[in-house]
Amino acid sequence: LSLVALESQGHHVHCYKRIMSSTNVKRGKIILFGDSITQMSFSAADCGWGAWIADRYQRRADVLNRGFSGYNSDWFLKFAATDEGQADLFDHDNVKIVTVFFGANDASDLELNPRHHVPLDQYKSNMKEIASLARGNFGEDVNIIFIAPPPVCHDARLRFQKDKYKDKATGKLERTLELSGQYAKALTEVAKELELPCLDVWSKMQDSSSSTKPWQEYLSDGLHLSAAGNKFVGEALIDLIDDLLPELAVTPCTYTGNINSSSRSSISMRRIAPWHDEIDHSNPEKSFRNLSLE
């Protein structure tokens, strides 16, 4: 980019003349695909895990929430095949990371909830197709991260059912810990086959060495994430990126933990505009002359 001055009604107006590829100067994008656990990941009240990611990538990437409450992977793919779906899901450039977080609905019991149930083999096929669509639309180099469904707390699900349906509650579980575990295991197998990272929330939440609370406290109604659960997933996802995709990691200041000044760094996720502590207040224009450099 170069700075040019234009005359406008006797005043000097500064504007930027584009002389570089727009991809080099646009913010990166992180897109979150999933069901209600993703749709609600921007929740302020519940400290959504998507908001944790947006916070870490301040001034580096826009985080786009493409979660669809109540959807299974079949319905997501049906939507993706429409013109509206193509525009909403894939009409984005400079995408760096895509998360794929399905399974909570797919894993519903076939007899008790046939509406949401997706057969295990079909679920695995759907996960591969979503990954293929992401690569086909965002490029072969896009970083895809699978996220396995969380465990299911039976007692909390039954309480939720009774609170919602009162005397019409069946007392039967159409989502179970065992079923969600089968779909989590299936997703880790897909990830291994495709050589893609997978955050196995189902296993990690129940691993006492990874958790500071009983895993049941990570769920608000036995299925969806509580504020503590969102924090758990957000931190675990950031840790996974730091460990497996270090070029996309953002490193806070070693001394202060600050993430909004020049003391933070990232190899591939460039910041947009100079940090405030990089600007020479006596000659601020100097700091904006070449915005193509990190």
Sheet of 95-101, strand order: 61-67, 28-34, 95-101, 143-147, 198-199
- Do residues 139 and 131 make contact, with C-beta atoms less than 8 angstroms apart? no
Contact 169, 162 (CB under 8 A): yes
To which H or E segment does residue 199 belong? strand 198-199
Residue numbers annotated as active site: 36, 221, 224
SS3 275: coil
- Supply 213's token pair: 């609370």
Distance CA 81, CA 200 (A): 28
- The H or E element spanning position 145 is strand 143-147
